[in-house]
Structure 1
Amino acid sequence: MSRTPRTPRTLNGMRVLITGASGTIGMALGQHLAAQGARVIGLDLRPRGDEGFEVLACDLTDDASVAAGTQQVLARLGGLDALVNNAGIGGPAPAELAPGAEVRRQLEINLLGAWRVTAACVDALVASRGRVVMVASRMAVMQLPLAAAYGASKRALTAYADALRLEVGTHVGVTCVYPSSIRSPIHDSTAAAGLSLEGMSRYEPISGVLTAIESALVRARPRRDVPTTRRGAVEFFLARHLPAVTDVIVQRTLAGRARSGAFDGAALAAGVVARLGSGSGR
């Protein structure tokens, strides 16, 4: 049975596709890899034009757009050595409310967008014995309240990665990277709805995310799961092995936020405030 090569790789000359390439992580990653000699092309719904590397317009929710975009990338690079599925969006989505357009939007981009792009690139990656990196989230293993769609989409993304690894892992390395919170516009819509999770999650520097992704691309034996900070590694361990402990921590933190008035006036958090707020008697 053929196996993926077990020798370290170099970024110099590596052909890399990054989705969500005009966003905070995607643009920083593309610049970081290109500075080390990688040949980087990105896909994004709305390229900015100042990324510092080539970014093609592509709608990850549209089959035809993904097919056309990935074909352009493969043609321009002459193949593909690495795919970084970075594109993702967030937004308010309490689990107690019926799923609507916001939930469908997050699942469509965060999960199915990555699935479409990977499927379009898998033959090229098998041919090069390449790598796939899924930029997941700490919320894939430790859910936070009021953002159920994001956590569900990222947990589903890691399940997709697991299935992909079983199918193509003899030829392609598949790694999931788990950032915590990065300061970026992804949080804007949640904050605008009055559901900011400030105080429930600690921001981390983007440098750790870039280092984790680079490691997944060049290690001789790519790791299956890669947290991006030491704190993230502890949270990942607890969420995987002691989930009841992390549940208690998150629930207590949520109750404290509700009682402090953090969600007052936020219609989507009315249920949480009624149950946990200062007037709940708890």
Structure 2
Amino acid sequence: MSGLDQRRVLVTGASGTFGRQLCAAFTAAGARVVGVDRQPGSIDGVPVLGCDLTDPATVPPVVAAAVDRLGGLDLLVNNAGVGGPAPAELPPDEVVRQQLEVNLLAAWRTTAAALPALEAARGRVVFVASRMALLPLPLAAAYGVSKRALVAYADALRHEVGTHVGVSVVYPSMVASPIHDSTADAGLSLEGVSRPEPVQGVVAAILRAATARRAPRDVATTRRGRLELAFARHAPTLADRLVRRTVATRIAAGDLDAAPLAAGMLRRHRDATG
């Protein structure tokens, strides 16, 4: 896939922050695009099929309808995702379950449904993960776990289908979007911990993954992102130390004092530091 003209593209989470921009960018590049989201409709002329990706029974027929509408499938972008606060020390709740369902299992079942068409076209699948897959942050365990598991799934898939279907993973950092609203409402904003980046850079990285002569394995969205991924892989102890130092600075500044979910971490930190 060296270009996108007349390529047949399916984008999940089409109505979200990334999804809308992706649909517009693929369309502008000449691709034929169908989106999937919870509510059916259209986005600037791109048809969006309604589907709850957490319902195993509804995904295969919706993917089949998209493939039929496009006349095949060259590219699947697994973009749908949700976030939310989830301390690792607390038992998993509905917030945790939803993140695992949407961020991991929905992408898994969508990919499985799309693979016959992708294989027939020698196509590609792109997974939108997160830098938190490799650089986990406290109080957001579910998101990091779901994205790290998504990367593991992509790696296994590449071994199974890589001779016929390209498999790439893109690693954005923090992008301003509603996905962070529930975390901010809980007093656990990532401000000062994760450096924001523009959505356009994430979209550009996904397009690079889609159009490179060979499907790249891992794609960072910024130069800083490449450095962070390298730190996480080759110097994990140093990466952990940097995260701990940043979190300690926020605790010392009182940024988490009003967050009930951070109470245990605050108590232990203050006990350890006297």
Q: TM-score, normalized by length of structure 1?
A: 0.94
Q: Which residue does 2:80 correspond to in 1? A: 87
Residue 118 of structure 2 is aligned to residue 113 of structure 1: no
Segment of structure 1 superposing worse, 232-241 or 263-272: 263-272
The 1-side partners of 2:121 and 2:203 are apart by 23
Deviations for 1:204-251, whole angstroms, at most 9, x for unmatched residues?
A: 011221111111111111110000000000000000000001101101
Q: Which residue does 1:100 correspond to in 2? A: 93
What SS is found at the alignment partner of 1:132? strand
Q: Which residue does 2:158 correspond to in 1? A: 165
What SS is found at the alignment partner of 2:95? helix
Residue 243 of structure 2 is aligned to residue 250 of structure 1: yes
The 1-side partners of 2:260 and 2:268 are apart by 14
From 131, 134, 137, the equivalent of 2:130 is: 137
The residue correspondences of 1:174-253 to structure 2 (distance < 5 A) are 174-253=167-246
How many residues are aligned here?
Answer: 274
Q: Per-residue deviation at 1:49?
A: 4.2
Deviations for 1:243-270, whole angstroms, at most 9, x for unmatched residues?
A: 0011011011111111211111211110
Q: Per-residue deviation at 1:48?
A: 6.3
Q: Report if the CA contact (8 A) 2:174-2:194 is conserved.
A: yes
The 1-side partners of 2:248 and 2:41 are apart by 40
From 44, 50, 63, the equivalent of 2:37 is: 44
What SS is found at the alignment partner of 1:41? strand
- Cα distance change of structure 1 residues 50 and 78 upon mapping to structure 2, 3 Å threshold: closer
Q: Which residue does 1:263 correspond to in 2? A: 256
From 16, 20, 27, the equivalent of 2:13 is: 20
The 2-side partners of 1:63 and 1:113 are apart by 8
The amino acid across from 1:227 in the alignment is A
Q: Per-residue deviation at 1:20?
A: 0.4
The 2-side partners of 1:63 and 1:269 are apart by 34
Q: Per-residue deviation at 1:281?
A: 3.9
The 2-side partners of 1:122 and 1:67 are apart by 11
Q: Report if the CA contact (8 A) 2:41-2:49 is conserved.
A: no
Deviations for 1:129-179, whole angstroms, at most 9, x for unmatched residues?
A: 000000010001111111000000000000000111011000000000000
What SS is found at the alignment partner of 2:58? helix
Q: Per-residue deviation at 1:276?
A: 2.3
Q: Which residue does 1:126 correspond to in 2? A: 119
From 53, 61, 66, the equivalent of 2:54 is: 61
Segments ≥4 residues shifted beyond 6 Å: none
Q: Report if the CA contact (8 A) 1:22-1:47 is conserved.
A: no
Segment of structure 1 superposing worse, 168-177 or 213-222: 213-222
Gaps of 5+ in 1: 1-7
The 2-side partners of 1:177 and 1:45 are apart by 23
Gaps of 5+ in 2: none
The amino acid across from 1:39 in the alignment is R
Q: Report if the CA contact (8 A) 2:20-2:43 is conserved.
A: no
Q: Report if the CA contact (8 A) 1:9-1:220 is conserved.
A: yes
The amino acid across from 1:107 in the alignment is L
The amino acid across from 1:247 in the alignment is D
Q: Report if the CA contact (8 A) 1:259-1:276 is conserved.
A: no
- Cα distance change of structure 1 residues 22 and 130 upon mapping to structure 2, 3 Å threshold: same
